[in-house]
Amino acid sequence: MVNRTTCEAVGRPAASQFTGVAMNVLNAACAILAITLCAAGCATPAPADSVRATTALADVDGCNLLGKVIVADGPDAEKEARAKTAQVGGNVLLRKSDQVWNGNAYQCPAAGHRKD
């Protein structure tokens, strides 16, 4: 009598048992990838043009401080500061003064949010 594997006993070659497992793993990986990409799309920061800049501390009362924004002085300082604020998830930039674009990024509730 010849020794046969379980798969061969039911009419499938032994190698095909791994094909089913590999397909299940591939399907699961595709599902995880799709969910991850969808979640990443939802977590994309707001565009820099939706960042409000202010010098008034009262404008960020009740907001969450996200971090410092430091940019070099120059013609693109405003654009860079707004982009860095958006990059960290902020929608308000509290500037140190009207002369510089350095400051702190905040995430504030959308209600009452206006663009400067």
Q: Report pLDDT for 111.
A: 45
The verdict on 12 and 38 lying in the same domain is: yes
Q: Report pLDDT for 115.
A: 47
Structural domain range at position 36: 6-42
In angstroms, the CA 6 to CA 9 distance is 5
The verdict on 95 and 75 lying in the same domain is: yes
The verdict on 52 and 101 lying in the same domain is: yes
**pLDDT > 90 fraction of the chain, expressed in percent and rounded:** 50
The residues that bridge with 64 in the sheet, in sequence order, are 107
The verdict on 18 and 58 lying in the same domain is: no
Total domains, the chain: 2
Say if residue 81 is exposed, middle or buried (CB neighbours under 10 Å; 0-12, 13-18, 19+): buried
pLDDT digits (tens, 9 = 90+) for 65-109: 999 999 999 999 999 999 999 999 999 999 999 999 999 999 998
* Structural Rg of the chain based on CA atoms: 27
The verdict on 27 and 62 lying in the same domain is: no
Question: What is the DSSP-derived secondary structure letter of residue 63?
Answer: P
Say if residue 83 is exposed, middle or buried (CB neighbours under 10 Å; 0-12, 13-18, 19+): middle
pTM: 0.56
Q: Report pLDDT for 32.
A: 76
The verdict on 57 and 97 lying in the same domain is: yes
pLDDT digits (tens, 9 = 90+) for 24-71: 776 776 667 667 665 555 555 556 668 999 999 999 999 999 999 999
**Is residue 1 situated within a structural domain?**
no
